[in-house]
Amino acid sequence: MTATTSAPAGRAEAPAGKAEAPAGGPAAVRAGRRAWIGLAVLALPTLLVSLDVFVLVLALPKLAVSLHADGTEQLWIMDTYGFMVAGFMVTMGTLGDRIGRRKLLLIGAAAFGGASVLAAFSTSAGMLIAARAALGIAGATLAPSTLSLIGTMFENPRQRAEAIGIWAGCFTVGAIVGPMVGGFMLEHFWWGSVFLLGVPAMVLLLVIGPKLLPEYRDETAGRLDFPSVALSLGAILPVVYGVKEIARDGLRTVPVLALGAGLIVGYVFVKRQRTLDDPLVDFSLFAAKAFRTTLGGMLLFSMLGGTTMLFVAQFFQLAQHLTPVGAALGLLPGMAASTVSFLAAPVLARRVRPGRLIASGVALAAAGMAILTLVAPGAGPVWPSLGFAVTSLGVGPMVALGTDLVVGSVPVRKAGAAASLAQTVNEFGYAFGLATVGTLGNAVVRSHGLPTGLHVVAGLAAAGFAVLVFFVARHLRSIRPLAV
């Protein structure tokens, strides 16, 4: 491996002869204070991106009136960001490995800040949709870049797991403070102000990032294969669009055709990757048992967990008639529990094998889902909040340690690609969960009411998690506790 580094942050470059070894190891160099300060720089935009997603839900009614956005335009304002993130994530993760992870992160931060300003001062629904598309493309650079840089900065397995736990927790913190900050901003300022929340963080990253963050680039990687980029977009975007539209409005001609076309293009994409010396997605990564097992588990977890969270939020708003802020407060105990879980999982993994810890967390999540199946139609907020909190407490090992296993089970030079796959799996999992479990749940809601629909979704999630417990326990049992 030939790589360029600058502004070291506690990581020594691996010798060339160890290029294909997974990141880290028992003798890996421990990161110093500079790396932890660098982690704070990486965590801030992560938190702000998460916050940006949640405040838009609150801002939508006001901006729809101001921009005269009809129902279709409102849906595109909400969905365009997610479409672009999902579509460009794989490309951006691989691009970062080629041109430099820090370089791509800074480019993405500048673009995200600029697109945020454009969104804030949009004068039409079309302009805002375009700004949201630009935000999504820029946002697709941030997660794989920050995550792969963490793998570069923290070579020691224990420290890397702790850093990823903090990074993952920032998403939840953004979800906690997003509705509160958004509500305050919308009460005192115009709707566009919520889009400006991330700008100072991006400016700070652009100023401090070059001084604190290391650069990493795989000099041995070939050129980016642009036909593969086109094929990946041609596969991912129609599939995500088709799945979301089917979940929202049922089987209709255009979404079904989009889904079918995306799957066909996806097949062509996979065939092309297997013929290239430098593929956009290296499917040989799936040869590692920890890699493919963890990605599969994360896919199922996001499918079932994300869909159930949506139904719990709907239960608060539609069955208990709470405002969006009130519903967010009902979810607050669960968000806090997941944050604690993200931070605690790497510490527990020092003594407990990660496979056992992840399996235990999934079992706890299944128990939380079982509690949700007992929520009565006239129940207050306590039981659904408790069920969601117990579920969230079990999330940490899968997300924090699972992400660490994905990044740590591949060669350092492929960490960006691995990070992008992990994030893409989460995006797809949530979309497929809404299209399958969510569609079934909505059908039950229409015929029997919301509590019964919540019971069905939570029951399916509990059963799925129960199966996942045995799957994870079996296939990850050989992974040792985190090294010092």
Where do the structural domains in the chain lie, given as residue ranges? 33-213, 225-279, 284-477
pLDDT at 11 over 50: no
- Using alpha carbons only, what angle is made at residue 62 by residues 308 and 183, rounded to the nearest 5 degrees? 60
Its sign, for the CA torsion 337, 339, 345, 348, is: negative
pLDDT at 240 over 50: yes
Q: What is the pLDDT of residues 112-123, one digit of tens each?
A: 999 999 999 999
The percentage of residues in the chain with a pLDDT greater than 90, rounded to a whole number, is: 21
**pLDDT for res 261:** 95
Let me know: does 59 contact 191? Beta carbons within 8 Å.
yes
pLDDT at 9 over 60: no
pLDDT at 260 over 80: yes
**Dist CA 390 CA 465 (whole Å):** 13
* The two three-digit tokens of residue 340, written as one number: 């604690």
pLDDT at 7 over 60: no
What residues form DSSP beta bridges with 218?
Answer: 3
**pLDDT for res 93:** 85
The beta strand positions in 187-274, using DSSP E, are: 217-218
**pLDDT for res 16:** 33
Q: What is the pLDDT of residues 445-478, one digit of tens each?
A: 888 877 888 899 999 999 999 999 998 888 888 7
Q: How confident is the model at residue 324 (pLDDT cuts 50, 70, 90)?
A: low
Let me know: does 418 contact 410? Beta carbons within 8 Å.
yes
Backbone conformation region of residue 68, classed left if phi is above 0, alpha if psi is from -120 to 50, else beta: left
Q: What is the pLDDT of residues 379-404, one digit of tens each?
A: 777 888 899 999 999 988 988 888 88
pLDDT at 23 over 70: no
**pLDDT for res 137:** 92
Q: What is the pLDDT of residues 81-93, one digit of tens each?
A: 878 888 888 888 8
CATH architecture of the domain formed by 33-213: Up-down Bundle (1.20)
Q: How confident is the model at residue 200 (pLDDT cuts 50, 70, 90)?
A: confident
List Cα–Cα distances, 319 to 309, 379, 473, in angstroms.
15, 9, 38
- The pTM is what? 0.77
Q: Can you give the C-alpha Rg of the chain in angstroms?
A: 21
Q: How confident is the model at residue 142 (pLDDT cuts 50, 70, 90)?
A: confident
Q: What is the pLDDT of residues 272-311, one digit of tens each?
A: 998 888 888 888 878 778 888 888 888 898 889 888 887 8
Q: How confident is the model at residue 230 (pLDDT cuts 50, 70, 90)?
A: very high
Considering only 2-11, 311-320, 348-357, which range has the smallest mean pLDDT? 2-11
**pLDDT for res 334:** 87
Residue 315's Cβ-side half-sphere holds a number of Cα atoms within 13 Å equal to 32
Q: What is the pLDDT of residues 356-379, one digit of tens each?
A: 999 999 999 999 999 999 888 777
CATH superfamily of the domain spanning 284-477: MFS general substrate transporter like domains (1.20.1250.20)
**pLDDT for res 231:** 93
**pLDDT for res 3:** 43
Q: Using the 8-state DSSP alphabet, how is residue 331 labeled?
A: H
Helices 382-393 and 324-348: angle between axes, nearest 10 degrees? 30
The percentage of residues in the chain with a pLDDT greater than 70, rounded to a whole number, is: 92
Only one residue has tokens 């069905």, namely 456
Neighbours of 448 (CB within 10 A): 12
Let me know: does 122 contact 65? Beta carbons within 8 Å.
no
**pLDDT for res 262:** 93
**pLDDT for res 19:** 38
Going by C-alpha positions, the residue among 361, 365, 339 that lies closest to residue 348 is: 361
Mean pLDDT, the chain, rounded, equals: 82
Let me know: does 42 contact 109? Beta carbons within 8 Å.
no
Average pLDDT over residues 408-435: 78
**pLDDT for res 433:** 83
